[in-house]
């Protein structure tokens, strides 16, 4: 399957070609650097390296006017302003779950292509997706036409499934944050879900969301007592993941509304994140109302 928009296709192709290189480049880059990202988190050496690699390549694409990364404080202007032209803005989490490097567990790359200047609502996305560095390196890409999954090898991508949808019968769940830090209303909802579904939680957003797309169910990183705005970044994680799941027939929510309807104030705004089967997200919003 080829994405119909040539600029979006070049973004996807660039990320696909870079994925094998990123995965191989993780070797020898498992340590941390003497610095923090804009969210105050310690950066892995691999975070910085993957951001520089993707930033250089994506910013050079004709039709990409802005590049933004979870690892950089500001938007990088790299062409025409998306607010006044046909150029797109690309937002990337270069290495989601990089804390898993030490234990050699799954991680990924998340990206969103916005038809608007950043920060932007998720409703302005024209494509979004992620690479999962699991036992097999895979790419999931969502457009307004479909959600497709590919296997990546040697810089090439092979179509595995053309029309990915969230299975109707939910099987798995995963919830982030420390349980004592969960608000009471979310804790009550979580206790219900625990009695119905199987726990699958790996500490990397991409791996946990991919479980939901594969088996059906729900993943959530809720608002916490100590962090009411949640942990995950709207532009780099919430919007792209929400877009993928919604295009696959599921729902996304910040606890009240679709993640794609949330109005951002700042590039690095955080948001609670919940995705999954419609019925489970409906129950979540009812529990938190």
Q: Where are the CATH 3.30.540.10 domain residues in the chain?
A: 6-161
Binding residues for Mg(2+), by number, are: 70, 93, 95-96, 237
Binding residues, by number, are: 70, 93, 95-99, 201, 231, 237
H-state helical runs in 177-272:
184-194, 205-215, 239-247
Binding residues for substrate, by number, are: 96-99, 201, 231
Q: Where are the CATH 3.40.190.80 domain residues in the chain?
A: 172-288
CB atoms inside a 10 Å sphere around CB 136: 10
Q: Under CATH, which architecture does the 172-288 domain have?
A: 3-Layer(aba) Sandwich (3.40)
Packed helices 6-25 and 45-59: angle between N→C axes, nearest 10 degrees: 150
CB 219 within 8 A of CB 277: no
Q: Which two tokens stand for residue 201?
A: 């939680």
Mind listing the pLDDT tens digit of every residue in the chain (289 residues)?
557 799 999 999 999 999 999 999 988 888 788 777 887 777 888 999 999 999 999 999 999 999 999 999 999 999 889 999 999 999 999 999 888 888 889 999 999 999 999 999 999 999 999 999 999 999 999 999 999 999 999 888 999 999 999 999 999 999 999 999 999 999 999 999 999 999 999 989 999 999 999 999 999 999 999 999 999 999 999 999 999 999 999 999 999 999 999 999 999 999 999 999 999 999 999 999 9
Write the CATH number of the domain with boundaries 6-161: 3.30.540.10
Q: How far is CA 87 from CA 119, 146, 246, 271, in A?
A: 15, 22, 24, 27
H-state helical runs in the chain:
6-25, 45-59, 184-194, 205-215, 239-247, 278-288
């Amino acid at each position: 399957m080829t994405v119909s928009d040539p600029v979006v296709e070049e973004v996807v192709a660039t990320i696909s070609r870079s994925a094998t290189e990123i995965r191989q480049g993780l070797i020898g880059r498992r340590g941390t650097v003497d610095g923090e990202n804009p969210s105050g988190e310690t950066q892995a050496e691999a975070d910085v390296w993957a951001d520089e690699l993707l930033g250089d390549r994506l910013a050079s694409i004709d039709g990409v006017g802005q590049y933004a990364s979870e690892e950089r404080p500001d938007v990088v202007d790299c062409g025409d302003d998306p607010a006044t032209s046909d150029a797109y803005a690309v937002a990337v989490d270069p290495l989601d779950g990089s804390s898993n490097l030490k234990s050699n567990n799954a991680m990924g790359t998340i990206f969103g292509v916005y038809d608007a200047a950043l920060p932007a609502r998720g409703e302005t996305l024209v494509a979004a997706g992620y690479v999962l560095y699991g036992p097999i390196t895979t790419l999931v890409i969502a457009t307004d036409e479909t959600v497709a999954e590919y296997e990546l090898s040697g810089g090439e991508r092979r179509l595995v499934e053309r029309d990915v949808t969230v299975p109707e019968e939910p099987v798995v769940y995963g919830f982030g944050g420390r349980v004592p830090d969960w608000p009471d209303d979310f804790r009550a909802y979580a206790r219900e879900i625990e009695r119905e579904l199987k726990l699958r939680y790996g500490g990397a957003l991409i791996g946990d969301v991919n479980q939901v797309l594969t088996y059906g169910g729900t993943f959530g990183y809720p608002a916490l007592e100590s962090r009411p705005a949640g942990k995950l970044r709207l532009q780099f994680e919430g919007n792209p993941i929400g877009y993928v799941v919604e295009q696959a027939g599921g729902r996304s929510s910040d606890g009240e509304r679709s993640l794609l309807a949330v109005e951002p104030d700042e590039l690095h705004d955080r948001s609670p994140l919940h995705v999954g089967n419609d019925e489970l997200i409906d129950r979540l919003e009812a529990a938190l109302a």
